[in-house]
A and B are shown apart, each in its own frame.
Chain A
Amino acid sequence: MSAIEIATAVRAGEQSARSAVEGALRAIREGDGALHAFLLVTEESALERADALDAAIARGEDPGSLAGVPIALKDNLCTIGVPTTCSSQILAGWIPPYNATVVAKLTAAGAIAVGKTNLDEFAMGSSTENSAFGPTRNPWALDRVPGGSSGGSAAAVAAGFVPLAVGSDTGGSIRQPASLCGVVGVKPTYGLVSRYGLIAFASSLDQIGPFAVSVADAALLLEVLAGHDRLDSTSIDRPAPKLVESLEEGISGLRVGVIDDFLTDASTATRRAVGDAASALSAAGALVDHVAIPALLDGLASYYVIAPAEASSNLSRYDGVRYGLRVDADDVEQMNSKTRAAGFGAEVKRRIMLGTFALSAGYYDAYYAQAQRVRTLISEAFARAYSDFDVLIGPTTPGVAFRFGEKSDPLAMYLSDLYTIPSNLAGHPAMSVPFALGEDQLPVGVQILAPALREVVMFRVAAVLESAAPIGVGAPIGLPESVAR
């Protein structure tokens, strides 16, 4: 069932929140042994919350727009009283003393968190292979990665454990796993969703967003997540957009640009999917044309200076003093260095090293300041394209889900994010919609990119693509029997 169907039934008293939550918990129990989407399942508190919600409905109270909908949370979102690990040994055993704002908003809207999902350590990666607690498997093919870093959230939705999940996207960490797992994934405009309680990776890029089985469900979830929060100084002070009500308004006359530069290195089936998507939008009345924006491809190099630089600063807080792991030593500097060596995995260490290098004396201007100037060039290139087009489309990622161990070279892994990174650098919204089956019958997502705060138009395009998609969204065919619903 979709989130909208569950919420509608629960709100009408036709289904109890408890039965919806019990269904999700049963599916996780039966299927997650094969996938490892979840690091922790919060069965007891989920059932308590469901019972409380059912009691509130019985009293005639409004249970909220996501009443009784089971939801999974990426394990870099702080949950009060529930361990939050970022898939890192350095936070093993830590229990946050507060909730992320999005967690509080979901609770207020009646959604019921059933657990914390796996990720690449501190959201650094594109496959979940960097999790300290073992990778998540792709429900479409168990020998393939689910993408990352929000791979657990994507797999949990694709496997039908939950209709909704929350992730975070710094360079593609929602859209790339959504594409690889055949679900909808959205990175909202920077500042649209509060990041209070999201454990920071790269603060000028991080943004929280939804995973869902359908475009309408994603729209409903984003309406709940969005909105100003005085606890996040980067939060935009304007009302959350109304997305659901205008989903069906169509795209007649809308100007859509197909980004040619994103097609060169994409797989054959991926290129075909984008071509078919362009035809479908044209058939729906959009004015579709091709556009060259070569500056966007410089985003990868810019990102792999800026994101590690910000990460090296953000992760300096893991020093063995206030929370998490400590390895004892004779003096404080030794204690810091031994704690961080024992607590961080290889990719996190690499990024901290890269960022520290880029910020160090003698290299700052050549790398960090230059990457920031290139970031400006990317925003300017987008602005020129958006003077001719309302939205842009392209592939989400160059190919279908890859096999475990296939991208052991860090640079090869980084290239997975080539098409998703530019939107993070510019602070723009972008989303991935499952559109076709590609190589080895694995899902291919089409990415829709829009200017800042133009989510309403982006979602209307997504709704058209969803209805035209040759694969049925929300019905991931090809699920192995072991995890099939």
Chain B
Amino acid sequence: MSETIGRDEVIYVAKLARLDLTEEETTLFAAQLSSVIDHVAALRRLDTTGVRPTSHPLELSNVLREDVVVPSLDRDVVLASAPATEDGKFKVPSILGEAP
């Protein structure tokens, strides 16, 4: 069984992953990802009928705490790490375009 991932698929996945790839990266990743996917596709030959998927190695249940206010990081300390801030908030470029 041979699996391949083409340039079009690399471009689509890169858009989902918010990665602005160069032409060279797109070509290189198409070849390298095909090679890795071809290897991991061996999984599909294994019989897993009736096998429960493991999402986590521990049997975990929700951890709840008392709903009380405790100190958290100071707003100024957190905002000090941000690339851009304004009025005590993170600042980003426009999310929506101009109104028509």
Contacts and interface: CB of A to CB of B under 8 A. Distances in A.
Contact of B33 (A204, A328, A350, A427): A350
Contacts of A204: 55-57
B51 A373 contact: yes
B52 A373 contact: yes
Contact of A325 (B36, B44, B77, B83): B83
A332 to B, nearest CB: 5
Contacts of B48: 370, 373-374, 376-377
A476 interface: no
A344 B37 CA distance: 21
Given A97-B77, A360-B16, A354 B93 contact: no
A335 B92 contact: yes
B58 A191 contact: yes
Interface of B: 5, 9-10, 13-22, 25, 29, 32-33, 35-37, 39-40, 42-44, 46, 48, 51-58, 60, 63, 65, 73, 77-78, 80-84, 90, 92-95, 97
Interface string A346-363: 100110111011001000
Contact of B36 (A233, A354, A452): A354
B95 A331 contact: yes
18 contacts: A97-B78, A204-B56, A233-B60, A322-B81, A325-B83, A331-B93, A337-B15, A346-B25, A350-B29, A354-B33, A357-B33, A372-B53, A374-B46, A375-B53, A376-B48, A376-B54, A379-B54, A410-B35
A331 B20 CA distance: 14
A367 interface: yes
B95 A367 contact: no
Contacts of B32: 350, 410
A433 B92 CA distance: 50
Q: How large is the interface on A (under 10, 10 to 19, 20 to 34, 35 or more residues)?
A: 35 or more
Contacts of A302: 40, 43
A360 B13 contact: yes
Nearest to A452: B57
Contact of A341 (B13, B20, B83): B20
Q: What secondary structure prevails in chain A residues at the interface with B? A: helix
Contacts of A373: 48, 51-54
B19 A332 contact: no
Interface string A422-459: 00011100000000000000000000000010000000
Contacts of B58: 190-191, 234, 236, 427
Given A312-B17, A353-B17, A377-B46, A367 B40 contact: yes
Contacts of B55: 204, 372
Contacts of B93: 328-332, 334-335
Contacts of A305: 40, 43
A294 to B, nearest CB: 11
3 closest residue pairs by CB, A with B = A427-B57, A372-B53, A326-B83
Given A341-B21, A376-B51, A357 B37 contact: yes
A68 B43 CA distance: 49
A427 B77 CA distance: 36
A326 B84 contact: yes
A62 B38 CA distance: 57
Contacts of B10: 353
B35 A323 contact: no
B46 A298 contact: yes
Contact of A323 (B36, B73, B82): B82
A353 B14 contact: yes
Given A324-B83, A354-B33, A356-B13, A349 B43 contact: no
Nearest to B96: A331
A55 to B, nearest CB: 28
Contacts of A240: none
Contacts of B84: 326
A411 interface: yes
A322 B20 contact: no
B13 to A, nearest CB: 5
A366 B33 contact: no
Contacts of B77: 97
A440 to B, nearest CB: 29
Given A316-B18, A323-B82, A330-B94, 5 more contacts: A230-B65, A357-B5, A357-B37, A375-B54, A376-B54
A304 B17 contact: no
